[in-house]
Amino acid sequence: MTRRGWLHGLAAVPAALGAQVQRPRIVVEEVALRLRHTWTTTMSSSDERRNVFLRHTRDGITGIGEGAPIVRYGENAYQAKDAAESLISTLGHENPLAYVDYLREAFRRLTGQYAARAAIDISTMDWVGQKHGIPLYRLFGLDPAKAPITTFSIGIDKPEVVRQKVREAEVFPVLKIKVGLDNDEETIGAVRAETDKPLRVDANEGWKDKETALRKIRWLESQGVEIVEQPMPAEMIEETRWLRGRVNIPLMADEACRSITDIPKLAEAYDAVNVKLSKSAACAKRTKCCNWRAPTA
C-alpha cells in the first residue's frame, strides 16, 4: 500500500464517523508501505517500510499522525503500535487542547518509543489545528515563506539505478545522496552524470575513521556538495570536531542528535543538526530545536 492510498481510503471515514462519535475514538494501525525502489543506506536495505498511523477522532474531527520506526534506535512497527495503544485509554480521558501537558504525560510514559511518540504528537497537533481552524505554522507563530528548501533523498544503489532515481526526482531542486561505503565516488559520479543540482550527502556514520572522512569530504568539495550529514559514528564527537576544522563543507548531525539536550555538546563538532519528527517527536519542541543558538561569550 502507498501512504497516499491509505490516506485516500480514510477520506470518507472522519466526517461520517465524527458525526456519531460521543466519546473520543483512538485507533492505531500498522501499515506496510511499498517502496518504489529498494531503500539502502549504510545501516539497512528494504523494499517496504512498516509505519504506524494513529487516528484520533473527537468532536467530529479526526487528527492523523504517522510514526516511522527507526532500526538504528532498536524500533519496529509492532512495538510502536503496542506502545501507542497502551496510552489509548489515558489519552481518551485528557483534553488535547491543553496539548503541552497532554503530550508531556504521553511522552513520559513512552520512553525510547520515538515512532509511537511521533504518531501521537502529529495526530494531536493535527486535531488541535483543525479544532482551531488554523494551520500549525500559525499556531506556532511561524512564517512559511521563511521555511528552508528541503531535500529529496536518493538511497545507495547500482550506478544505473542511481541515475534512474535522479531522473525521477527531477522536480526536486536539492537532492540528498546516501553515501558511506567504498563506492561513494561511483555513486556521486552517477548523480553528476544526470544533474548539476546542489547536492547534500548523508554518510549515516559510514566513515569509520577521521582520515577516511577527511579524504572523502575533500573530494566531495569538488563535486558541488553543500552539506555532509553524519560523516562518522555518533559517539565520535571529538574526531568530528577535528574534521570540522579541516573541511569547508558544513557538517550536520543526525544520529548524534536525538533531542534539544544533545545540541550543546555537539556545537563545536557540527554546524547544523537534522531535526526530524520521527526521532524527536513533538512539533512544538522541533521549533525550539530550530531556534537554538549557542551562547555567546
**Closer residue to Mg ion, CB minimum distance, 126 or 254:** 254
Instruction: Kindly tell me the burial class for residue 109, based on how many C-beta atoms sit within 10 Å of its own C-beta (0-12, 13-18, 19 or more).
Output: middle
**Closer residue to Mg ion, CB minimum distance, 129 or 231:** 231
**Closer residue to Mg ion, CB minimum distance, 125 or 260:** 260
Shortest spacing between CB 254 and Mg ion, in angstroms: 4
Helix axes of 283-290 and 99-109: crossing angle, nearest 10 degrees:
100
Phi, psi (5° rounding) for residue 53? -120, 140
- What part of residues 164-203 is at the interface with Mg ion (CB under 5 A)? 202
Shortest spacing between CB 86 and Mg ion, in angstroms: 29
**Closer residue to Mg ion, CB minimum distance, 75 or 126:** 75
Tell me, residue by residue from 212 to 231, as one string, x for binding to Mg ion by CB under 5 A and - for no binding.
-----------------x--
Exactly one of 26, 106, 254, 282 binds Mg ion (CB under 5 A); that residue is 254
Shortest spacing between CB 233 and Mg ion, in angstroms: 13
**Closer residue to Mg ion, CB minimum distance, 81 or 244:** 244
Query: DSSP for 38-79?
Result: EEE-SS-EEEEEEEEEEEEEETTEEEEEEE---GGGT--HHH
Distance CA 166, CA 6 (A): 26
Q: Are 121 and 64 in contact (CB under 8 A)?
A: no
- Which stretch, 128-136, 150-158, 235-243, 252-260, contacts Mg ion (CB under 5 A)? 252-260
**Closer residue to Mg ion, CB minimum distance, 116 or 257:** 257
The yes or no reply on residue 121 touching Mg ion (CB under 5 A) is: no
Distance CA 182, CA 232 (A): 14
Helix (H) or strand (E) holding 15: helix 13-20
Distance of CA 82 to the CA centre of its chain: 21
- Which stretch, 109-117, 131-139, 254-262, 286-294, contacts Mg ion (CB under 5 A)? 254-262
| Binding-site ranges for Mg ion (CB under 5 A) | 202, 229, 254
